[in-house]
Amino acid sequence: MDISAGLLAMLDDTTTESRVDIQLEALTLAVSADLPVLLWGEPGIGKTAALNQLAEAVELPLTTVIASVHEPSDFAGLPVVGDDPAVQGVPMAPPDWAVRLVRAGRGLLFLDELSTAPPAVQAALLRVVLERRVGALRLPPGVRIVAAANPRSSAADGWELSPPLANRFVHLHWTYDHDVVVRGLGGTWPKAELPRLNRARLPEAVTFARRAVCGLLAARPGLVHQLPKSEARRGGAWPSPRSWEMTLRLVAFATAADASRDVLSMLVRGTVGDGPGLELLASMDRMDLPDPETLLADPASAVLPERGDLRQTVLDGVVEAVRKRPDQDRWNAAWSLLVLALDTGAPDLVVVPAATLAALRRDDWEVPASIERLAGVVSVSRRADQAVAAGGVRR
């Protein structure tokens, strides 16, 4: 036994190295925002290990509760009859783990195997997840809630999550990194650098989050509430006023932490679903675009976006601004911006705006010399289109 203990100690003797982990960063931001998180993933891929690392990093004691082995009364409370029930009522006594969390005043409550909890237990968990109530006790503000679940196909006697319970969580799909596993088994496991909130950016982050979410929902009122039709999708992320409020909070936290787009994408899609989440991300991209009127007023100092889709949107906006208020100076300025786009990006992006802008010319407007720079690009594009059309006719 002594020899085996020594061998086990050698196997446990590992080192760590810093590594970017967008999954853990997204989880940390959601926990910091005091939102319940549900980790979805196949068995054995490291969901529990991630929770242990998070609890250690944020210095919160971890309390694990296996939801599937508990009765509904373990979350709703056990009735305790007192001396005079008619006067005092019958209080609902909380379980011991809830009492320990209240005494500690802080902690990380981990609800494991959530997808194997029967519907009655899921119903009892509603108040725990949303209102932080366990029986007659209210969990203190310093307690954060994270749950884990396996997909129904790989869960032991699994159930679909009920829509009311699913809509209370930020859903993060957990996967493993092949390189991390191989290097970890070799003795070096990653230690993720957790995001830090920038205190100076808090007001800016709140303003940006409100503009982003409210601007999208004002333009797309149908996204406010969309209950999925299939039972499986109802057990995941979908948009509702509650989940949009969670999304607003997550956008603010991600902005204050200067999180990457990948992290922000995981958070918003895990709260309102893929479709609405991607629409929000696209709307946020457009919020940062330069005003076409500002570009037309001073094209010499204009800076265009690097991303092709955003640059195309800006150029289309410039041409549309000229169409709404046609003027020769504005028309000439728009040509200068198209030349700038030609010099600093892909030539094909200026073809459609150039053709549209040329059609806006008035008879008394002189043609600027800069048009000659774009004539070749438009001509080549038209010849290519004609060649494709001719090829289709021959076929």
Q: Are strands 137-138 and 106-112 parallel, antiparallel or unpaired?
A: unpaired
CA dist 386 and 379 (Å) reads: 11
Read off the pLDDT of each residue in 309-331 and give the average, rounded to a whole number: 89
Kindly state the tokens that stand for 332.
């000439």
| pLDDT greater than 90 at residue 264 | yes
Read off the pLDDT of each residue in 85-105 and give the average, rounded to a whole number: 80
Token pair 């790989």 is found at 154
Residue 78 has phi, psi (to 5 degrees) of -95, 130
| pLDDT greater than 60 at residue 258 | yes
Partners of 106 in beta bridges: 142
Closest CA to 170 of 242, 218, 113, 122: 242
Q: Residue 259: helix, strand or coil by DSSP?
A: coil
Q: In angstroms, how far is CA 231 from the centroid of its own chain? A: 23
Confidence of residue 265 (pLDDT cuts 50, 70, 90): very high
CB count within 10 Å of CB 333 equals: 22
Read off the pLDDT of each residue in 230-247 and give the average, rounded to a whole number: 92
15-79+91-195 — its CATH code?
Answer: 3.40.50.300
Read off the pLDDT of each residue in 9-19 and give the average, rounded to a whole number: 82
pLDDT of residue 380: 43
* HSE of 77, CA atoms in CB hemisphere, 13 A: 18
Q: In angstroms, how far is CA 146 from the centroid of its own chain? A: 16
The larger pLDDT score, comparing residue 29 to residue 20, is at: 29
Q: Name the percent of the chain in helix, strand, coil, to the closest 5.
A: 60, 10, 30
pLDDT tens digit sequence for 69-94 = 888 888 887 777 666 665 666 677 78
Q: Whole-model pTM?
A: 0.77
CA dist 206 and 382 (Å) reads: 47
Q: Where are the domains of the chain?
A: 15-79+91-195, 200-287, 292-394
| pLDDT greater than 90 at residue 160 | no
DSSP, residue by residue, 182-220: HHHHTTEEEEEPPP---GGGHHHHHHHHHHHHHHHHHH-
268: CB partners within 8 A, 6+ apart: 247, 250, 251, 277, 280, 281
Q: What is the DSSP letter of 154?
A: G
CA dist 32 and 34 (Å) reads: 5
Q: Which of 76-85, 163-172, 226-235, 351-360 has the highest mean pLDDT?
A: 163-172
CA dist 81 and 182 (Å) reads: 56
pLDDT of residue 156: 55
Alpha-carbon distances of 375 from 177, 250, 308, 329, 351, rounded to whole Å: 49, 47, 21, 20, 9
pLDDT tens digit sequence for 120-159 = 888 889 889 988 888 888 999 899 999 998 886 665 566 7
Q: Check if the beta carbon of residue 147 is closer than 8 Å to that of residue 109.
A: no
Residue 277 has phi, psi (to 5 degrees) of -65, -45
CA angle 89, 92, 93 (to 5 degrees): 125
pLDDT of residue 82: 63
CA dist 272 and 316 (Å) reads: 30
Q: What is the identity of the amino acid at 245?
A: E
